[in-house]
Amino acid sequence: MGFSTNLQGRAAHEALLCRQEAELRLLTTMRGCLVNKIKCDRQYADALASVVVQGRKIEKTEDLVGSLVTQAWKNMLEEIENTAKLIKQNADMVESRSVEKLNSLYAEKRKGMKLYQEEHNRIAAQFSHSNLLQAYLPRWRSWLMSLVVLSSTAEDGEIEVRISVG
């Protein structure tokens, strides 16, 4: 995979870092919210279950045999109980799957960001090294020229080296 030419340069590098950090923050927020929602769901499910327990206290009374209202009430309590169970199951599933996936996504993204930074640093170091070479090139060239001049004016076996540093 190539790297877009639009993403080269210092500004682009910083924008990429910001983006990656923002994505990590987003993942952290998402995780926090999901964990909170799971907590809400579980509390709601528990509260509904206790409503059902409260509503069933009447059930044992034998004076209500054959009452349609009692039957309807029993059905309603069953529905509430099922809803509570579903909410609890869903919370468990979100916890064991979604939150876990978010965690590994976060770890992966963090690792990717580290890799990107290391790679960037490596390339930047290479780049500055080659820049250094480039900067020394004219000086080396002039030294070479000096040597050539010296060699043409010096006697055999006698080359005085006069290189001015600076």
Report d(CA 37, CA 44) in Å as an integer. Answer: 10
Please pick, from the candidates 7, 22, 115, 137, the single residue that binds a copy of itself as defined by CB under 8 A.
22
- Show the binding pattern over residues 77-116: x = contacts a copy of itself (CB under 8 A), - = does not: x--x------------------------------------
Show Cβ contacts of residue 105 under 8 Å, excluding neighbours closer than 6 positions: 27
Is residue 9 classed as helix, strand or coil in its secondary structure? coil
Q: Does 12 bind a copy of itself (CB under 8 A)?
A: no
Is residue 126 classed as helix, strand or coil in its secondary structure? helix
Asked whether the beta carbons of 101 and 34 are under 8 A apart, the reply is no
- Show the binding pattern over residues 36-75: x = contacts a copy of itself (CB under 8 A), - = does not: xx--x--xx--xx-xx--xx-xx--x-xx--x-xx--x--
Report d(CA 115, CA 113) in Å as an integer. Answer: 5
Q: Give the residues lining the site for a copy of itself (CB under 8 A).
A: 15, 18-19, 21-23, 25-26, 29-30, 32-33, 36-37, 40, 43-44, 47-48, 50-51, 54-55, 57-58, 61, 63-64, 67, 69-70, 73, 77, 80
